[in-house]
Amino acid sequence: MPGAASMIAMVLCASEWTRDDLEDGRDHLSENRKAAIAAALILIGFGVVAYLMPRIMLAIGEYSPWAAGTFAALFVLAFFGVFWLRARAQKKKRD
C-alpha cells in the first residue's frame, strides 16, 4: 500500500518548527500537526477494521444477520462520530 505510506509521511511533515520553537523548549508539535497525526491514526484504525469488516460480518452473521447489519451501521456511525466528538473537544479547548 504505497499510497498510505506517502499519506502518513505528508501528515508528519505537515508543519515545520520555527527557530523560536526549538529554543524555548516547548513541545515541538504544533496544534495543527497534532490534529493531523490524530486524524491519520483514526483513519488507519478505521481502515484496518474496514479491511476486516467482511470477515467480522460473516462471523457475526452466523449468529444473527440482524446483529451483523447493526454492527456495520454502528461502524459507519462511529467513523463520523469520532470526528464529530474530536471537533467538539477542539472547539471547547479553543473557547
Spatial distance between the Cα atoms of 44 and 42, rounded to a whole number of angstroms: 5
* Residue 15, pLDDT score: 47
pTM: 0.57
Q: How many domains does the chain have?
A: 1
Spatial distance between the Cα atoms of 81 and 69, rounded to a whole number of angstroms: 18
State which residues of the chain have pLDDT below 70.
1-29
Predicted confidence (pLDDT) per residue in 60-78, tens digit: 999 999 999 999 999 999 9
Domain that includes residue 77, residue range = 2-94
